[in-house]
Chain A
């Protein structure tokens, strides 16, 4: 196991609702990246936080937002949920250097009805 934890494991929401997903990074890591993995697809980069600041963003609308806390844990918030937001949301932690490996948590499965 990587030491990266995510909560909750599963979540069911309805369209228009808001959701918050949480990630605890591995000890010694100061960078958290969030990815969305739709069914049958590879993970797509949402954004990354390095030392509490956003450090890059993928092609996702502003209703996807995040935070990183002083202990380097992180939250992903999604507002105005759409059916297409149904996916496995993965967070990965690393030490922040571009050569570093990103270690993934088990993911949160979000279903939007």
Chain B
């Protein structure tokens, strides 16, 4: 069965500091991995994805994520946090075979403190 774990419900970081939002996954076979962000009363906005190739993926708004197969992790990172990065972040996984849908984690609320 496919699953995604986001172990931290809440992450607080000071503006200008690096941020990390953690994600681990469980999937049969190789995964496709995604990060989305959700602002209040909005849908999900795509940030980045890992399909194959380089383990470090760069995405929108300065975000990046590193795929670690041995640790089954796909942590989201940004070198310098902005107050406007405060939002709800979701990690999602899709197995390479089978259903073409996303399995989401429960989300991590990021608060960037000015």
Mark A residues whose CB is within 8 Å of B: 2, 4, 6, 31, 33, 35, 40-45, 48, 50, 55-56, 58, 90, 92, 96, 98-99, 101-107
Contacts and interface: CB of A to CB of B under 8 A. Distances in A.
Nearest to B100: A98
30 contacts: A2-B45, A2-B46, A4-B43, A31-B100, A33-B100, A33-B102, A35-B104, A41-B106, A41-B107, A42-B105, A42-B106, A42-B107, A43-B44, A44-B104, A48-B99, A50-B100, A56-B99, A56-B100, A90-B44, A96-B100, A98-B32, A101-B46, A102-B102, A104-B36, A104-B43, A104-B44, A104-B46, A106-B42, A106-B43, A107-B42
A103 B90 contact: no
A102 B107 CA distance: 17
Contacts of A96: 100
Given A33-B101, A107-B43, A101 B106 contact: no
B74 interface: no
Contacts of A40: 106
Contacts of B45: 2, 104
B32 A99 contact: yes
Nearest to B9: A40
A103 B46 contact: yes
Interface string B87-114: 0001010101001111111110000000
B103 to A, nearest CB: 7
B49 interface: yes
Nearest to A45: B101
A42 B105 CA distance: 6
Contacts of B106: 40-42
B34 interface: yes
Contacts of B14: none
A42 B104 contact: yes
